[in-house]
Amino acid sequence: MEEESSPINRDVLLIADVALPHIDLAKFYPILSVLSIHPWLSSSQMRASGQTVCFKSLHVGLSDGMNLFATERTVRANPSSSPVAKASDVRMMRRQIFATLRPLSEPPVSQTDKVLAIIHRAGKGTSRRGIYNLEELLEIGAGRGARGELLVFEDMTLNQQVAAMQRVTVLVGVTGTGLWNALWMRDGAAGIQLFPFGVVFKGGVEFQSAIRHGPGTYIAWSADRIFDSSKRVPGGPSCAAPRGCTVDELLHPLSPIPAQALLAPDQFWEQDWGWAWMFYYGQDLIHVDPAQFHSLLDATGVL
C-alpha cells in the first residue's frame, strides 16, 4: 500500500517553451499550475534576461515514469526514449492534484451508488469518434442498477472534471482526449475504451495507461465494422451507423479501399501512415452492439 500522506512541495518553478502557456497548453495548464505557488516562466523570458539561472534540480518534460505514450515497443525501437510509465509516479501526481483540489471525497466504489458515464463531445452529434446508440447503452446500464450520465468535459473546469470522475463507477468513451480524465477516478472503478475499426493498432495507449494507473480496471473494445457515411457497399447500402459495412462487403473489385487496409490494419499503418490516419480516424459515429456491451460491463466486475 502506498503512503498517501506524503507532504506536497509546491515551491517549484514551472517553465514552458511556449509564449502563452495558459492558452497554448489548454487544459494541461490548470492541471500543471496546481503543482506550483509561483507564476510561470518561459524559455524566452529566461534568455532575454541575459543572466545565468541555476536550479537545485531540473525536470525536463515528463518524469521518466510518467510518459503515458511509451510502450515496450517504443522502448525497443529507441532505447534512449522514455520508459513505460510507472504506476507509482502517476499515482504520486494524482495525490498532488487531489491534495490541492480538496475538499474532494473518495469513498470506495463498493460503498456508493453505481454510475455509468459516457463521454460525449459537445455539439458534435454527427462528428467522428462518437457513439450512435448512446441512449441504448445508458438504458443497458440502468437495467444493471446504474445511473447514467453523459459527460461533456468541454463545459467543465478542472475542479468540476475531477469531481465528476470521483462519482463514476464505469467510464465509457471512444478513444480520445476525454479519457485522460480517467486519471481522476477512484481506485476500483473501471474504464472502457472504444475503438473505431483499425484505430486500435495505432492509438489509445496513453488512455489505456491513464485508466490502468487511475481506477485500475481497463477494458477495450474494437469495432469489427466500418462506420463511415461517406462510403458504401459498391452498388449497395451506406456504411453509416447503425448498419455499417463489414470487411467482406468492402472487399470488392470496385471498392477504392485497399484490401490491406481492411484485412491487415496493423500492417497498413506501417505501409501508408497518412492514408491510414485519414481512413481509420475519419470514420463517423460508431454503433456498439448491445450484447457486446453487456459483456464489456460484465468484464469490469463492478456493474
* Grid cell in block for residue 297: 460491463
Torsion angle, alpha carbons of 236, 238, 243, 249, to 10? 50
pLDDT tens digits for 148-180?
Answer: 999 998 888 777 888 889 899 999 999 988 898
Q: Does 29 score more than 50 pLDDT?
A: yes
User: pLDDT, tens digit, for every residue of 189-226?
Assistant: 999 999 999 999 887 888 888 888 888 899 999 999 99
Residue 302 in grid coordinates: 463492478
Burial tier of 125 (Cβ tally within 10 Å: 0-12, 13-18, 19+): exposed
Backbone dihedral angles phi then psi of residue 244, each to the nearest 5 degrees = 70, -175
Confidence of residue 6 (pLDDT cuts 50, 70, 90): very low
Is 187 in contact with 169 (CB distance < 8 Å)? Answer: no
What is the per-residue pLDDT across 238-272, written as a single tens digit (0 to 9) for each?
999 999 999 999 998 888 899 999 999 999 998 99
Residue 118 banded pLDDT, cuts 50, 70, 90: very high
Q: Is 175 exposed, middle or buried (0-12, 13-18, 19+ CB in 10 A)?
A: buried
Measured distance CA(19)–CA(34) in Å, rounded: 19
CA 93 to each of CA 35, 83, 89, 141: distance values in angstroms, whole numbers, following the listed order: 9, 17, 6, 31
21 pLDDT above the threshold of 90:
no
Q: For residue 136, give the C-alpha cell.
A: 441504448
Q: Residue 123: its pLDDT value, please?
A: 58
User: Which pLDDT score, from 0 to 100, does residue 256 have?
Assistant: 86
Q: Give the pLDDT score at 53.
A: 72
- What is the grid cell recorded at 81? 526514449
What is the per-residue pLDDT across 48-95, written as a single tens digit (0 to 9) for each? 777 777 777 655 544 445 566 677 777 787 776 667 777 777 777 777
pTM score, two decimals?
Answer: 0.78
Give the pLDDT band of residue 18 (cuts 50, 70, 90).
low
Higher pLDDT, 280 or 25: 280
Q: What is the pLDDT of residue 8?
A: 53
DSSP state of 195: E
* Pairing status of strand 238-239 against strand 170-174: unpaired
Dig out the grid coordinates for 13 from the structure. 518553478
Task: Indicate if the pLDDT at residue 4 is higher than 60.
Answer: no
